[in-house]
Amino acid sequence: MNRAQKELAEGILFTDQYQLTMAQLYYRMGFQDKLVQFDHFFREYPDYGTHKAGFCINAGMEWLIHWMQQVHFGKKEIEYLSSQKNLMGQQLFQNDFLDWLYKNGSFEDLNIYAIPEGRVVHPNEPLTVVQGPLAMAQILETSLLNHLNYQILIATKAARMHEIGRGQVLLEFGLRRGHSFGANAGARAALIGGADSTSNVGVSAVLGTSPKGTHAHSMVQFFIALGMSELDAFRAYAEVYPDDCLLLVDTINTLESGVPNAIRVFEELRRKGHQPMGIRLDSGDLAYLSIQAANMLDKAGFENVSIVLSNNLDELVIWQILTQIEEEAPRYGVDSDKLIRRLVYGVGTRLITSWGEPALGGVYKLVAVYDENQWKPAIKISESLDKTPNPGNKKIWRIYDKRGKATADLICLNDEDPQTKSKLCLRHPTDHTKYRMLEDKDISKIEPLLELVWEKGKIPHPLPNLEEMRHRRIKDIEVLDSGVRRLMNPHIYHVSLSQKLWNLKQELIEKSQPGIENNSNK
């Protein structure tokens, strides 16, 4: 793709064809400006095969709304659409519709409410609420889902790795295995969710973080191919980067060549007054090798240099490494706690692709239509109750118990305010026999989660920066029950419906039950 082609492919045509065919239909029927509401939510936590998440981290909004600011149906887009043919070889999109689209084809008339990036979120609650004229709200669907689903997925995976890694430094290394330029969004999401830095230079430049990286095996190989040695390569590195000397020690043989050579170079650095930074292990039994390397480094007086681990790490592998270190280190006279506190995790493929679950099933569902001066709830009766979206214009509240722990998210209709009630009924979203009653005395705080982030083409409040999002994430995870934070088989966090919303949903389901009779047009 040349530049112009890339702009076309990543502009407002970054959408599905059916959004445009529907938009033309709405235009033809005069419905294009009808006010509607779509909710964006996911139905289930990511399930990585052997283990399922107990919470997600919201992410992606800033890049979505920046995209929305930049795109519209311009000349090139209209030209392309006018060239599309139907099966009979006739123009698919008519000129009157294309004229309308040229004049109205931007996202300037939408309002968007969203849970801020970095916050803990749960299934079936609207993370993003889009209100506005039907045609453009519909066209936004694909790109909104594309931008938000992936970043939530990666922020969540990063949070899991950060949790299990006991807060040790986590580096995002996945650019080469990411999905084309999507890797940039993944790196951003990783930084929001749990990574301290990324190796991705471009994203670091844009986000103002410090990219991380030292050298690859190829550097050592290059020296050897020229008749020199691993030690020569390490010395060269130490000479150029005496204060940032982190050496990759597994090109030849980790314990017999890499670590001894690294120690030799570290000693030379120390004599010159520099503090070496660390070593990186990228193959083999990382737990065993890190114990042996720690032992060798300790004996040489380098107790503070880091040991960076990489090679297909994910939350389970990190867990396994930590477990093995705790078991095995004492046998070699190595203090496992001390060793664990010097570890750094470099995570690549399995973070950037969300290994085990490479997509979040986030959806965008029509939940209300503004008609005859009121919001009318819309519903889609799916094959199962748990896939039937919550209808209507709603608000979400997070309820904290007396310990200050988040105990439930409550989805209410828009005109309800649980803060003013002395007693709350929390209905299970699908099981009609289950509910929970909460009284004033059980509750320490009730907090609304949705905020206005896009108002008729403008960003009404400054968006949180990376530090603020990370701070939010840390705070939100801290107030989760430890059972919910658990890596495997977490407790299920309650996402409940208010009695009023529950009643509305039942009523709409019942109304649409007779199916074909109800919908046949006499």
- Residue 380 backbone phi and psi in degrees, to 5: -120, 115
Query: What tokens were used for 16?
Result: 């599905």
Q: Which residues within the stretch 480-509 sit at the binding site for a copy of itself (CB under 8 A)?
A: none
Residue 407: CB minimum distance to a copy of itself, A: 32
Among 86, 323, 444, 465, binds a copy of itself (CB under 8 A): 86
Which 8-state DSSP code applies to residue 276? -
Q: Which residues within the stretch 101-130 sit at the binding site for a copy of itself (CB under 8 A)?
A: none
Per CB under 8 A, does 183 bind a copy of itself? yes
Q: Which is nearer to a copy of itself, 65 or 159 (CB)?
A: 65
Per CB under 8 A, does 292 bind a copy of itself? no
At 316 the three-state DSSP class reads: helix
Query: What tokens were used for 233?
Result: 């390569």
Calpha distance 378→427 (Å, rounded): 20
Among 43, 85, 272, 299, binds a copy of itself (CB under 8 A): 85
Calpha distance 133→437 (Å, rounded): 38
Place of tokens 């973080």: 209
Element (H, E) at 78: helix 75-83
Among 341, 359, 483, 506, binds a copy of itself (CB under 8 A): 359
Q: How many CA within 13 A on the CB side of residue 223?
A: 17
Q: Which residues within the stretch 232-271 sit at the binding site for a copy of itself (CB under 8 A)?
A: 232, 236-237, 239-241, 243-244, 251-253, 256-257, 260-261
Per CB under 8 A, does 179 bind a copy of itself? yes
Per CB under 8 A, does 44 bind a copy of itself? no
Q: Which is nearer to a copy of itself, 26 or 397 (CB)?
A: 26
Query: What tokens were used for 248?
Result: 């990759």
Per CB under 8 A, does 11 bind a copy of itself? yes
Non-local (6+) Cβ contacts of 105 within 8 A are: 12, 72, 73, 77, 136, 139
Per CB under 8 A, does 17 bind a copy of itself? yes
Calpha distance 343→325 (Å, rounded): 11
Amino acid identity of residue 268, one-letter, is E
Per CB under 8 A, does 185 bind a copy of itself? yes
Q: Which is nearer to a copy of itself, 202 or 448 (CB)?
A: 202
Among 78, 169, 224, 425, binds a copy of itself (CB under 8 A): 224
Among 50, 75, 103, 180, binds a copy of itself (CB under 8 A): 180
Calpha distance 379→376 (Å, rounded): 10
By CB under 8 A, which span of 104-112, 323-331, 357-365, 495-503 interacts with a copy of itself?
357-365
Among 35, 78, 92, 296, binds a copy of itself (CB under 8 A): 92
Non-local (6+) Cβ contacts of 292 within 8 A are: 255, 259, 332
Per CB under 8 A, does 200 bind a copy of itself? yes
Query: What tokens were used for 244?
Result: 């940032």
Among 82, 142, 320, 336, binds a copy of itself (CB under 8 A): 142
Q: Which residues within the stretch 395-434 sit at the binding site for a copy of itself (CB under 8 A)?
A: none
